[in-house]
């Protein structure tokens, strides 16, 4: 029998308690069993069915030799990091959905886990319930992954879906997302791409085997996507989605960005709507593959956490699965150096006559021009439109 503690009884933490009871049959049949022994939170939950497990003192968990799994759903890099370090040092495996902590301190925490013969697992930190990390680490473990692009943030996808489906403006769609509880009170981390950037960093680290620092990833949010862009993109048969996009080059360099992209309808990813997430992966032998599902939410996220606990508790021990080393600075490239096909919406200056090669006019409305381009770097693109007012420019998935 394994004994678990949950740190933080918020949405995800309470979801884990619930999912453990939903999954109790399978856990007892396929593993040595998992019993939830403590829930640590500074708040009181007298009416919770789990009230009897509540404690405010982390050291109770830390000092209980029975507890071998600690689920950290506190979030952030302060107390969560401290408790994670202490739990690992006390010989307990830690399972988390905390993408910020994994993206910034994953390497240090995995090393600490290894030192103490335990595991630090975080399937839930990327793609919520969608099994992205273990799929990449196991099933594609021997593959040469060349590229991925994915919808990794539900809030921005909901907003963009509303803009496409109902012609809503960005601000109206954001207000609706807040109403429905799909957005945080302060939506900055979602809207500006910071949340997606952390997830891209984790995916890149799993693939390369070294910690990809989030600050090496160029990030652009969705606040610059207008209703006109939506109309122009639709006329090309594309949707616009905020994508995390990374390339793994032959020389070992990684070039990654988070930015709005146009996705042609032939990609299933272009049909991923509302708060759902999806990840498209390209690998040399496998070719193209996609994973789709709920990227957030109480029970889907809890499901991913329980899958980590299941792997720890079963015969199927995979403690070593998630492991990467320190950052290899010389291998952090810039997405700006890569050629892309671009979508450009511009309001041309008087007398603009497009004489450049590689630009293709595809739409014209209210004095605005929509172009798509041949593959070129961002710098080459800006050079071609020098002196003109570019209203928006987004990459196009090829």
Which one of the spans 1-9, 154-162, 178-186, 300-308 is the region binding its own copies (CB under 8 A)? 300-308
The tokens 């990390």 sit on which residue? 133
Minimum CB distance to its own copies smaller for 29 or for 355: 29
Which listed residue (88, 196, 302, 344) binds its own copies by CB under 8 A? 302
Does 285 bind its own copies (CB under 8 A)? Our answer is yes
At its nearest, how many Å lie between its own copies and the CB of residue 142?
4
Q: How far apart are the first and last CA of the chain?
A: 50
Q: Closer CB to its own copies, residue 292 or residue 369? A: 292
Q: How many residues bind its own copies (CB under 8 A)?
A: 57
Contacts (CB under 8 A) with its own copies, residues 244-283: 268, 271-272, 283
Q: Print the binding letters for residues 208-227 with its own copies: x by CB under 8 A, - otherwise.
A: -x------------------
Tokens of 367: 């004095």
State how far the Cα of 215 lies from the Cα of 35, in Å rounded to an integer: 39
Compare residues 217 and 313 and give the one whose CB is closer to its own copies: 313
CA distance 345 to 226: 10
Residue 391 CB, nearest approach to its own copies (Å): 31
Stretch that binds its own copies, among 149-157, 164-172, 189-197, 309-317 (CB under 8 A): 309-317
Q: Which of 88, 110, 263, 321 binds its own copies (CB under 8 A)?
A: 321
Determine which residue in the list 134, 199, 255, 384 makes contact with its own copies, applying CB under 8 A: 134
Calculate helix-pair angle for 99-115, 79-89, nearest 10 degrees: 20
Pick the closest to residue 77 from 130, 125, 18 (CA basis).
Answer: 125
Q: Which of 92, 99, 199, 384 is catalytic?
A: 199
- Check residue 129 for interaction with its own copies (CB under 8 A): yes
Task: Render 176-227 in DSSP notation, one character per residue.
Answer: HHHHTT-S-SS-HHHHTTHHHHHHHHHHHHHHHSB---GGGSEE--STT--H
DSSP for 152-170, written as a single string: --HHHHHHHHHHHHH---H
Beginning with the edge strand found earlier in the chain, give each strand of the sheet holding 34-40 in spatial order. 54-55, 34-40, 2-7, 67-72, 93-96, 120-121
Residue 202: DSSP 8-state? H
Q: Can you tell me the distance from the alpha carbon of 253 to that of 98, in angstroms, rounded to the nearest whole number? A: 26
Q: Is residue 238 involved in binding its own copies (CB under 8 A)?
A: no
Contact between 123 and 134 (Cβ < 8 Å): yes
Under the criterion CB under 8 A, does residue 142 sit at the interface with its own copies? yes
Alpha carbons 123 and 133: distance in angstroms, whole number: 6
Judged by beta carbon, residue 24 or residue 390, the one nearer its own copies is 24
Is 56 one of the catalytic residues? no
Q: Figure out which of the listed residues 41, 123, 195, 378 binds its own copies, where binding follows CB under 8 A.
A: 123
- HSE-up (13 A, CA, CB side) for residue 257: 18
Residue 318 lies near its own copies (rule: CB under 8 A): yes
30 binds its own copies (CB under 8 A): yes
Q: Provide the CA 11 distance to its chain's centre, in angstroms.
A: 18
Binding site for its own copies (CB under 8 A): 15, 18-19, 22-23, 25-27, 29-30, 123, 129-131, 134-135, 137-144, 209, 268, 271-272, 283-294, 297, 299-300, 302-304, 306-307, 309-311, 314-316, 318, 320-321
* Residues involved in catalysis: 199
């Amino acid at each position: 029998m394994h004994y678990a503690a949950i740190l933080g009884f918020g949405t995800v933490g309470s979801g884990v308690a619930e999912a453990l009871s939903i999954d109790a049959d399978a856990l007892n049949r396929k593993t040595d069993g998992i019993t939830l022994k403590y829930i640590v939170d500074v708040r009181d939950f007298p009416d919770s069915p789990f009230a009897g497990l509540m404690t405010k003192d982390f050291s109770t968990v830390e000092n209980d030799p029975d507890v071998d799994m600690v689920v950290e759903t506190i979030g952030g890099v302060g107390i969560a990091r401290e408790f994670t370090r202490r739990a690992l040092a006390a010989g307990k495996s830690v399972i988390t959905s905390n993408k910020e902590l994994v993206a910034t301190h994953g390497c240090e925490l995995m090393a600490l886990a290894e030192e103490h013969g335990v595991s630090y697992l975080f399937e839930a930190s990327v793609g919520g319930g969608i099994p992205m990390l273990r799929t990449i680490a196991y099933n594609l473990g021997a593959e040469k992954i060349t590229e991925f692009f994915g919808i990794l943030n539900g809030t921005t996808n909901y907003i963009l879906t509303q803009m496409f489906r109902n012609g809503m403006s960005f601000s109206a769609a954001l207000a609706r997302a807040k109403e429905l509880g799909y957005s945080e009170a302060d939506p900055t981390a979602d809207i500006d791409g910071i949340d997606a950037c952390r997830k891209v960093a984790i995916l890149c680290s799993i693939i390369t085997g070294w910690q990809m620092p989030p600050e090496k990833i160029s990030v652009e949010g969705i606040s610059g996507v207008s209703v006109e862009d939506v109309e122009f993109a639709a006329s090309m048969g594309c949707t616009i989605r905020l994508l995390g996009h990374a390339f793994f080059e032959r020389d070992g360099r990684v070039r990654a960005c988070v930015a709005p992209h146009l996705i042609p309808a032939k990609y299933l990813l272009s049909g991923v709507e509302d708060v759902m997430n999806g990840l498209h992966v390209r690998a040399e032998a496998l070719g193209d593959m996609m994973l789709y599902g709920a990227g957030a939410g109480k029970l889907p996220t809890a499901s991913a956490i329980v899958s980590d606990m299941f792997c720890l508790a079963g015969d199927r021990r995979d403690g070593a699965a998630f492991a990467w080393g320190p950052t290899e600075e010389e291998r952090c490239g810039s997405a700006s150096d890569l050629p892309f096909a671009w979508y450009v919406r511009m309001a041309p200056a008087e007398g603009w006559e497009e004489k450049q090669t590689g630009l293709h006019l595809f739409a014209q409305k209210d004095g605005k021009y929509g172009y798509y381009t041949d593959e070129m770097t961002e710098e080459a693109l800006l050079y071609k439109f020098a002196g003109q007012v570019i209203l928006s420019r987004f990459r196009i998935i090829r």
